[in-house]
Structure 1
């Protein structure tokens, strides 16, 4: 599902009530714990957290007009999804997350490369996401991005 919105508030206002509660809670957790320097906005039709052009003028290699993405949250057809580029790019972070997940949630981890899907709104491991959001600073993310993604573009 895609939502047409220009602000996170517009995005959230379009959601069904159960999704609205989950996305709002994720948004609060991420904003509270994300290191200084990331900005929030709509990116790829989702609520996104990214490195602004003022800090990384090159932008995203797939589309340099866009800021460098880091995390996003979205309501999809059957789930609320958290996208975290650091998990995709940094194996140690992925390994940490996969090992910690069962300590926070009884449900099996449903995950793609950077996408974590939550099908049951009442089983989202907010405490784990709280910790995940704080794991990488803007400068660390730029360094990981440049060594992982830019070398192949």
Structure 2
């Protein structure tokens, strides 16, 4: 679901009341663990963490006027999602996460290419997601992005 929010706080206020604490905690976890340089913005109707144009002026190759996306969090219709582009681009990070996940949750990992879905709000492994957020620096992400995606 996309919300017409102009800030992360506005986004959270528009969510159903029962989802607000989950997204707040997820946002706090990401912000506390994300390496320096990434900027919090509204991106694609979600709370996003991007490489700002001031650091990477070329922006996102698909839409250069947008900053380079890295991580997003969203409240979707039936789940809360974490979108982490680094896992999509770096197999070692994906492998690490898939091995660690069962140590932090009794549920089966529900994941797409860069999307981790949580249908049960009471079983989100915040500590693991914080560690995931911390495992790739902005410079590393730019290097991977340029080598794999930018033509």
Shift of the alpha carbon at 1:18? 2.1
Matched with 2:106 is 106
* 1:73-112 to 2 correspondences below 5 Å: 73-112=73-112
Unpaired runs of 5+ residues, structure 2, are none
Q: How many residues align?
A: 151
Shift of the alpha carbon at 1:105? 0.5
CA–CA distance in structure 2, aligned partners of residues 24 and 142 of structure 1: 27
CA–CA distance in structure 2, aligned partners of residues 75 and 29 of structure 1: 16
For residue 109 of structure 2, give the secondary structure of its aligned residue in structure 1. coil
For residue 129 of structure 1, give the secondary structure of its aligned residue in structure 2. helix
Question: What are the Cα deviations for residues 66-90 of structure 1, in whole angstroms up to 9, with x where unaligned?
Answer: 0000000000010000000000000
CA–CA distance in structure 2, aligned partners of residues 17 and 96 of structure 1: 33
User: TM (normalized to structure 1)?
Assistant: 0.97
Matched with 1:20 is 20
CA–CA distance in structure 1, aligned partners of residues 81 and 18 of structure 2: 14
Matched with 1:71 is 71
For residue 150 of structure 1, give the secondary structure of its aligned residue in structure 2. coil
Question: What are the Cα deviations for residues 83-117 of structure 1, in whole angstroms up to 9, with x where unaligned?
Answer: 00000000000000000000000110000000000
For residue 42 of structure 1, give the secondary structure of its aligned residue in structure 2. strand
CA–CA distance in structure 2, aligned partners of residues 9 and 93 of structure 1: 30
Shift of the alpha carbon at 1:16? 1.1
Unpaired runs of 5+ residues, structure 1, are none
Check conservation: 1:7, 1:41, Cα contact below 8 A: yes
Whether 1:136 aligns to 2:136 is: yes
For residue 70 of structure 1, give the secondary structure of its aligned residue in structure 2. strand
